[in-house]
Structure 1
């Protein structure tokens, strides 16, 4: 913090009741009234330096003692007294804290260079340009003091110059930051971290009024130099600086304070960059809780729900754990707000779902997002199920809000149901059935099914369903095993047979088709042989196949001999006839 000392005389102002006067041998001839304070001063030190007082005194004529009212002087009596001390040559110390009221009052009194050389206004301007605007914290401090004199500060260009100086320093590369700054993150020490963090500026500007803070953030974003994540971090720091922690502080009753907090929430939400990931989903959810607690405008709450739903897949269970601040709700957890965020997510998810089957990559990504949210909600239900005041209707509503594809299995929701039944032992049978109706027993893992079968807390109907699907699964497994065995036998390779075109003298094995045909013929032949030539059947009886072969060969031999006998007789007859012809 830089200071400027002006004047050399000691302070001789003193107060007597509601009157401020200065110790002097000369009697007072100039009375200035500001609000309820009367200043008994002298014309000689004041008039040469104050153009306004010169004009007012000239209007009053040649009166020896002039009385003037300056109720509308910016900065009030404190600012006027600094100007008066400058006229008397009394020492004053200027800093970023008192510069703005002193400068506005000096401008009001027209203490300019044109009135007297080396006047108060040019000295203040030099201090402002050479000291305050060159410093990081001085610029922020001076800007913050403009809150009390917004119109004067705006018209005199103080606000614009301070904002320009601050933005210029924010855009400075961290390696070139040479001024002091405030950075109190947990676990951070400058001795261990030699480099300047990228968000070094966020804590200092969080001291500003929300309107001034908005001006700086807007100016920084307009340059497009810093990434959205840094803007989001600045908003996060500012919200933590000003907004109440609803998990620790009791409900606020000061309507003025609540209205100011509503204004902060509205401003912060409106400044969040549209880029996904600019702020964490945890911060968005905390803002949503605070907005719900402060009863902000519907537009702000809707925007927060939309942003929270857009990043719900990134949330953890801890992000969803926030207490209910409504006295009408006996439960500890604010499950209604979680349901609102989930419904907002589902609306966005349905819009993103691919309409064409060709969008497989996008479809897988969207499905993965839904599965993450499904696991998150089931894990959250496992936590809120321990609340003894949590009604079953709210648990069912949140669990049923998820579509079927959100749960790849139902192990998580089963665990939540089991915890709820354990913590709510007096639950009616109807409520138990209503709760367990959420379960899809076909989507339970073998370990969970084994637990469910022995779970005495579950309704009998649910246990029967688990057993039924377990048997169906086993039956299906057996059928698949049998089908697999059949397929293995069906596709067993046939034995390789030698070619029919074998070399002479080598034996060949008949093909399977040929073998079946010959076997069939052998059987038929044996049966006929047995019928016709049973009386002449002889041979080995131990081997039926050999028996049939012997019978078959015996039949052929008899027929052959019979045919030979016929031919022999015919030849004999022909021979006899030939001889008789020769004799005759």
Structure 2
């Protein structure tokens, strides 16, 4: 007789010859069929033995017929079936079926029993209503019509590879699950998790969208891929497919940060040896110490297989999965040495929706033991992919991109803010070179930043961490900053920042002075401009008294502001006059100093000339005196 879980339908088990029994007894490691005829065949599976009768097995199993008939022994007494799918549990059910006992089929045992029947070749050629036919009927009419049973069988099929795959059990169950996910959930009464979908459920709106994600996430990765592929063929929405992929990754990949968590790295529920650590440093330090062991360990290989499979089935449409999820996936992919081509593909996907990322997600540790703590080169490649996508969309505006993403200026501004925050964080690393900082800071065009306060904070942080920079390197670092885009507070801080080069501080002060001057000129023009309003007094008289009182107070405030502005303007003019006066005085002093220098020079030259003349005159008189002495005086003799 035969029984199943869908009704009390009985099947006649007519034997060709031999005896029938529904009693089996286990004695230690052996099973015995309780009959009046002694057993004549021993089936050995592992350490368990079954004492049975040849006629019962030969009438239903083609393999047993071939083994016994092809044996060299005249009267074979023992057959070893260690390769039987399902092992002793499945063969116990096969033996009961051969002896006509009632076997209750369930989703739990059907996979092993179907594979065992295939192995033993229990076909219709030997007997009508053989085990292959009965198990196939149960799978087609019971398992595939039930959501819970389809998931259960898919889960059990993991133990029966490749038999379950070759018998198309995995394919049929995957298609059944895919069909049910795209149908109305009210027709799928029971979930695999045991939760019932009914109209009184307070979360029915959520059940109607992604109620199936939790159930399919219990499958092994290869079966999960089969299910998701079949679901995509059925036309499921990309965001729901992406939701299932993210749910699966959170369940099976330790280290994935769950949505809404405050920067903590949580373990995946599918792993018993995950590492829980902080987002900053903890996980990085643990993995960095055992990077080689982790990537080559069985757990590392399992994670690598999961990540590579998930990347291959992510829908190509943009926003099917979040950018934060992709970055967390990339973090683990770099840790377990995923294939470079898939890592590149993941970086492109992240670049296409980089404006949705957060700074914490970009802080990916450098698992390749490079000089820097964080993988700055990886972020640089992601940013390049973002800019490449922008150029493609700008250069071909008429095309329909595969990614449903419309580029706008706001996206570039959000990315610029994100990059500035990232630079502020990684700049604290003493091993970060000036070139890497400079290249990443200048990757975005100037138009992407309306305010440069963020890049100024990053520069100041870098100067703090690198106090030994030369003056030339400091000026080079500050070239990425536009002083005219700094806020008032940033300018005040920069003017007093001793870490900045002196020339940069002067430029900041000059830029702020020019901005104040332009603001004063603009405000003065606006205050002097009075629009012509006809019959203003009439209009005011017709308005309520409360409005007139408010207008009078506002006018008084405006007059006060105007007076203050005129005062500031007057002071500014006075300062300009004083500055001009100081410049004139300085010019005069410089001119006088220049003239005094030349006068002193001429005085010295005159003095030297006089001394020379005096000396020449002295020497001449001396010669004359000597001549007078030497020449005797000639007397004049007169005859008078």
TM-score, with length taken from structure 1: 0.70
Shift of 1:206: 1.7
Deviations 1:12-39, CA, capped at 9 Å, x for gaps: 13444xx665566654411334467654
* Deviations 1:244-287, CA, capped at 9 Å, x for gaps: 32756343244444333333222222222221111111112122
Could you tell me which residue of structure 2 aligns to residue 348 of structure 1? 389
Equivalent residue, structure 2, for 1:472: 514
Task: Note the C-alpha offset of 1:404.
Answer: 1.6
Q: Which string of whole-angstrom CA distances, capped at 9 and with x for unpartnered residues, describes residues 446-491 of structure 1?
A: 2321221122332322211101222333455567789999x989xx
Q: Relative to 1, partners in 2 of residues 1:117 and 1:455: Cα closer, same or farther, differing over 3 Å? A: same
Cα distance per residue 1:89-121 (max 9 Å; x no partner):
567554323321211211332334553455433
Which residue of structure 2 lines up, in the alignment, with residue 505 of structure 1? none
Cα pair distance change 1:303/1:355, threshold 3 Å: closer
1:85-234 correspondence runs (5 A):
85-88=96-99, 94-182=105-193, 192-195=202-205, 196-224=207-235, 226-234=236-244
Residue number in structure 2 paired with 1:409: 451
Structure 1 SS opposite 2:499: coil
CA pair 10-327 structure 1, distance change in 2 beyond 3 A: farther
- Whole-Å separation in 1 of the counterparts to 2:193 and 2:468: 55
Give the aligned partner of residue 360 of structure 2. 318
Q: Offset of 1:175 from its aligned partner?
A: 4.2
What SS does the aligned partner of 1:31 have?
A: strand
- Does 1:238 find its partner at 2:248? yes
Alignment of 1:215-294 (within 5 A): 215-224=226-235, 226-245=236-255, 249=275, 250-251=286-287, 252-294=294-336
Correspondent of 1:380 among 422, 434, 444: 422
TM (norm. structure 2) is 0.65
Deviation at 1:62, TM superposition (A): 9.5
CA distance, structure 2, for counterparts of residue 424 and residue 391 of structure 1: 10
Whether contact under 8 Å (1:8, 1:91) holds in the other structure is: no
- Could you report, residue by residue, the CA deviation over 1:200-237 in whole angstroms, capped at 9, with x for unpaired residues? 1112112223222222222221222x211111111112
Conserved 8 A contact 1:11-1:90: no
Superposed, which structure 2 residues align to 1:17-28 within 5 Å? 26-28=37-39
Structure 1: where are the runs of 5+ without partners? 185-189, 357-363, 490-584
Is the CA contact 2:295–2:337 (under 8 Å) kept in the aligned structure 1? no
> Which deviates more, 228-237 or 49-58?
49-58
Residue among 5, 9, 12 paired with 2:25 = 12
Q: How many residues align?
A: 472
Give per-residue Cα distances to partners, 1:284-334, cap 9 Å, x unaligned. Answer: 212222222222222211211111111011222233233333444452x33
Aligned CA distance change for structure 1 residues 180 and 431 (closer, same or farther; 3 Å)? same
Q: Is the 8 A contact 1:57 1:66 kept in 2?
A: no
Taking the aligned partners of 2:73 and 2:457, their CA distance within structure 1 comes to 95
In 1, are the aligned partners of 2:44 and 2:81 still within 8 Å (CA)?
yes
- Residues 435-454 of structure 1 aligned to structure 2 (within 5 Å): 435-454=477-496
1:477-516 → structure 2 map (5 Å cutoff): none
Is the Cα contact below 8 Å between 2:123 and 2:132 reproduced in 1? yes
Distance 1:183 1:199, change over 3 A: farther
Q: Is the 8 A contact 1:452 1:458 kept in 2?
A: yes
1:84 alignment partner in structure 2 = 95
Q: Give distance in 2, aligned partners of 1:67 and 1:101.
A: 23
For the residues of structure 2 that align with 1:221 and 1:401, how far apart are their CA atoms?
A: 38
Deviations 1:497-533 (A, max 9, x none): xxxxxxxxxxxxxxxxxxxxxxxxxxxxxxxxxxxxx
Q: RMSD value over aligned CA atoms?
A: 3.7
Does the 8 A contact of 1:11 with 1:91 survive in 2? no
C-alpha displacement of 1:136: 1.3
Per the alignment, do residues 329 and 78 of structure 1 end up closer, same or farther by CA in structure 2, a change over 3 Å counting?
farther
**Shift in alpha-carbon separation, 1:368–1:62, aligned structure 2, 3 A:** closer
Deviates further, 40-49 or 113-122: 113-122
- SS for the counterpart of 1:32 is strand
Q: Contact between 1:432 and 1:459, CA under 8 Å: does it hold in 2? A: yes
